[in-house]
Amino acid sequence: MKIQTKHFGEIVICDETIITFPQGLPGFEEFHNFAIIKNTDPENSFHWLQCIEDADVSFVVTNPFEVVQNYDFEIPDNLLDMLKIQNPEDVLVLSIVVIPEKIEKLSINLKAPVIINVYSRLGKQLVLDDPKYSTKYYIYDGIENK
């Protein structure tokens, strides 16, 4: 199907790649259908989670495990059920990225990872209880501190 995107204009995606978020996302509860637009540059690990119902609803996302050390959490049973997760290999975890005017202050939300079952094409943003993960993890600070 053809979809409108915020940054790439009109693009064509396969219907089977559409991910359904039955509860939308916090702040975007009425939006249920998304597509992941992958960055074609292999050196760039930032991708887009683009809403199909509204071109303006588009999130930059990235794999947090590539960016953060020791990021670890458990997916609760009720979410495993909701997303019909049966194999760990079917789970895709993405963190939503906030890119402010000052790009050095780029942050990713570790407190609320987006969990997607690539097999069932279902997704939900999981809010973690763990106080050690913040909604704003500054990836460039992390690199400087090493």
* Binding-site ranges for another protein (CB under 8 A): 7, 25-28, 39, 41, 43-46, 56-60, 77-78, 81-82, 96-99, 101, 103-104, 106, 109, 111-112, 125, 127, 135-136
Nearest distance from residue 124's CB to another protein, in Å? Answer: 9
Smallest distance, another protein to C-beta of residue 99, A: 4
CA–CA distance, 96 with 118 (Å, rounded to integer): 18
- At 75, which amino acid appears? I
Q: Which is nearer to another protein, 16 or 144 (CB)?
A: 144
| Closest distance to another protein from the beta carbon of 96 (Å) | 5
- Give the 3-state DSSP-derived string for 15-81, with helices as H, strands as E and coil as C: HHHCEECCCCECCECCCCEEEEECCCCCCCCEEEEEECCCCCCEEEEECHHHHCCCCCCCCCHHHHH
Kindly tell me which of 26 and 88 has the beta carbon lying closer to another protein.
26
* 89 versus 101: smaller Cβ distance to another protein: 101
